[in-house]
Structures are given as C-alpha cells and as structure tokens.
Amino acid sequence: MSELIITNIITAIATISAATIGSYFMYKSNSDKKDYNKLVKNSFKYLQELKLFYELEQIYIEKVEELTQKSGVTIKKDMRKKLDGKLTMTSNEAEKILKANRYQGLFND
C-alpha cells in the first residue's frame, strides 16, 4: 500500500513540475513575441520619420536653390558631405518598405 502512495506522490510531483516548466516556456515565448512586435512597430515608425526627413530635406533644398542659384543636386551633395556618416537608404527604399508592411496588414493606419 505504501508503495502505491509513494508512486502516486512521485507522479504528482513530476506532473506539477512538467506543468510548471511548460507554463514558464509558454510565458517566455509570448513575452518574446510581444517584444518582437514592439520592435517591428518601432521600426515602422522610424521609417516613417526617415521618409519625412527626406521630404523636409527636399523642401529645404528647393528654398536654398532659389536663394543661391545652385542646382539642387549640388546643394544636396555639398550638405551630405558635411554629415559624419553616409546615408545608405533612399526615400524610395523607405517608401517601398512602408508600403509592403501596410500591405501585409502589420499596421492599421
């Protein structure tokens, strides 16, 4: 009789342990998914900001072009030479990524 009780206790402890471990991994998995979704949404926002800065740059170039009688391309090159880093993404690339993400239904704008 006591062997049966000991076996049941061991089985109960193993079951509770397995459930605890399983629930921890489920929690961790959902937490990582939330972090991933937050990262994707922030990336989307940053791309929107980048696109707006490109548009703002174009407006400023047009105004400076009117004042200095230099071509817009020359003004853009001269101003970008003053930057510490080099721009690697164009406005069109940012727009393509933004449109692709909207199409996939990632965001509800």
Question: How wide is the angle at C-alpha 95 spanned by C-alphas 91 and 97, nearest 5°?
Answer: 120
Mean predicted confidence (pLDDT) in 62-88: 87
Who's near 16: CB < 8 A, 6+ residues apart?
none
Percentages helix, strand, coil for the chain, rounded to the nearest 5?
85, 0, 15
What is the pLDDT at residue 104? 55
pTM passes above 0.75? no
Average pLDDT, the chain: 83
Q: What is the per-residue pLDDT for 79?
A: 86
